[in-house]
Amino acid sequence: MFPNPITTGTVRVLPQAYTGLQTVTVQIYTASFKLVTTKIFTNRLAGQTVDVALVDNWGQPLASGLFYICVSVDRSRKTTSLVIAP
Protein backbone atom coordinates (compact mmCIF):
# COMPACT_ATOMS: atom_id res chain seq x y z
CA MET A 1 0.00 0.00 0.00
CA PHE A 2 1.36 3.36 -0.86
CA PRO A 3 1.76 6.13 -0.01
CA ASN A 4 1.81 5.64 3.75
CA PRO A 5 1.53 8.01 5.57
CA ILE A 6 -0.76 10.02 3.35
CA THR A 7 -2.34 13.44 3.74
CA THR A 8 -5.40 13.20 1.47
CA GLY A 9 -6.74 11.65 -1.71
CA THR A 10 -6.35 8.05 -2.74
CA VAL A 11 -4.28 5.16 -1.49
CA ARG A 12 -3.10 2.42 -3.88
CA VAL A 13 -3.40 -1.13 -2.54
CA LEU A 14 -1.69 -4.22 -3.97
CA PRO A 15 -3.71 -7.27 -2.87
CA GLN A 16 -2.02 -10.44 -1.71
CA ALA A 17 -1.02 -12.94 -4.40
CA TYR A 18 -3.76 -14.86 -6.21
CA THR A 19 -4.30 -16.33 -9.66
CA GLY A 20 -6.72 -15.45 -12.44
CA LEU A 21 -9.64 -13.10 -11.88
CA GLN A 22 -10.96 -12.55 -8.36
CA THR A 23 -13.11 -10.17 -6.36
CA VAL A 24 -11.02 -7.92 -4.10
CA THR A 25 -12.71 -6.37 -1.06
CA VAL A 26 -11.05 -3.48 0.79
CA GLN A 27 -12.39 -2.38 4.17
CA ILE A 28 -11.07 0.54 6.22
CA TYR A 29 -11.52 0.59 10.00
CA THR A 30 -10.77 3.30 12.56
CA ALA A 31 -8.27 2.67 15.36
CA SER A 32 -11.27 1.64 17.50
CA PHE A 33 -12.26 -0.93 14.82
CA LYS A 34 -15.32 0.92 13.50
CA LEU A 35 -15.89 0.08 9.83
CA VAL A 36 -15.94 3.31 7.81
CA THR A 37 -15.43 2.18 4.19
CA THR A 38 -16.05 -0.91 2.11
CA LYS A 39 -15.00 -1.06 -1.54
CA ILE A 40 -15.53 -4.11 -3.76
CA PHE A 41 -13.56 -4.57 -6.98
CA THR A 42 -14.86 -7.40 -9.17
CA ASN A 43 -12.96 -9.32 -11.84
CA ARG A 44 -9.53 -8.00 -10.85
CA LEU A 45 -6.64 -9.65 -12.64
CA ALA A 46 -3.84 -10.96 -10.40
CA GLY A 47 -1.06 -8.44 -9.78
CA GLN A 48 -3.21 -5.34 -10.34
CA THR A 49 -3.46 -2.61 -7.73
CA VAL A 50 -6.74 -1.05 -6.63
CA ASP A 51 -7.17 2.63 -5.83
CA VAL A 52 -9.24 3.45 -2.75
CA ALA A 53 -10.43 7.00 -2.10
CA LEU A 54 -10.02 8.08 1.52
CA VAL A 55 -13.69 8.80 2.11
CA ASP A 56 -16.20 7.00 4.30
CA ASN A 57 -19.30 5.14 3.07
CA TRP A 58 -21.22 8.45 3.19
CA GLY A 59 -18.75 10.37 1.01
CA GLN A 60 -17.03 12.32 3.81
CA PRO A 61 -13.20 12.54 3.88
CA LEU A 62 -11.50 10.43 6.53
CA ALA A 63 -10.05 12.39 9.43
CA SER A 64 -6.37 12.39 10.35
CA GLY A 65 -5.25 9.43 12.41
CA LEU A 66 -4.55 5.70 12.41
CA PHE A 67 -6.69 3.34 10.33
CA TYR A 68 -6.57 -0.37 9.52
CA ILE A 69 -7.01 -1.61 5.97
CA CYS A 70 -8.25 -5.18 5.47
CA VAL A 71 -7.88 -6.67 2.00
CA SER A 72 -9.81 -9.87 1.24
CA VAL A 73 -9.39 -12.11 -1.80
CA ASP A 74 -11.28 -15.40 -1.90
CA ARG A 75 -10.71 -16.80 1.62
CA SER A 76 -7.48 -14.90 2.28
CA ARG A 77 -7.48 -11.74 4.38
CA LYS A 78 -4.56 -9.41 5.13
CA THR A 79 -4.57 -6.37 7.43
CA THR A 80 -2.17 -3.44 7.55
CA SER A 81 -2.17 0.01 9.09
CA LEU A 82 -2.53 3.37 7.37
CA VAL A 83 -1.72 6.79 8.80
CA ILE A 84 -3.54 9.86 7.50
CA ALA A 85 -1.45 12.88 8.45
CA PRO A 86 -2.90 16.37 8.92
Q: Of residues 8 and 74, which shows the higher confidence score?
A: 74
Beta strands in 14-55 (DSSP E): 21-30, 35-45, 50-53
Q: Rounded to an integer, what distance in angstroms lies between the CA atom of residue 75 and that of residue 3? A: 26
Counting residues of the chain whose pLDDT is more than 90, the rounded percentage is: 84
| Ramachandran sector of residue 6 (left: φ over 0; alpha: ψ -120 to 50; beta: rest) | beta
pTM given for the model:
0.91
Q: Which domains does the chain have, with CATH numbers?
A: 10-84 (2.60.40.1930)
- Which residues, 6 or more positions from 41, have their beta carbon under 8 angstroms from its beta carbon? 23, 24, 25, 26, 50
- What pLDDT sits at residue 20? 92
- The pLDDT score that the predictor gives to residue 1 is 65
31-58 confidence digits (pLDDT tens): 999 999 999 999 999 999 999 999 999 9
Segment 11-40 mean pLDDT: 95
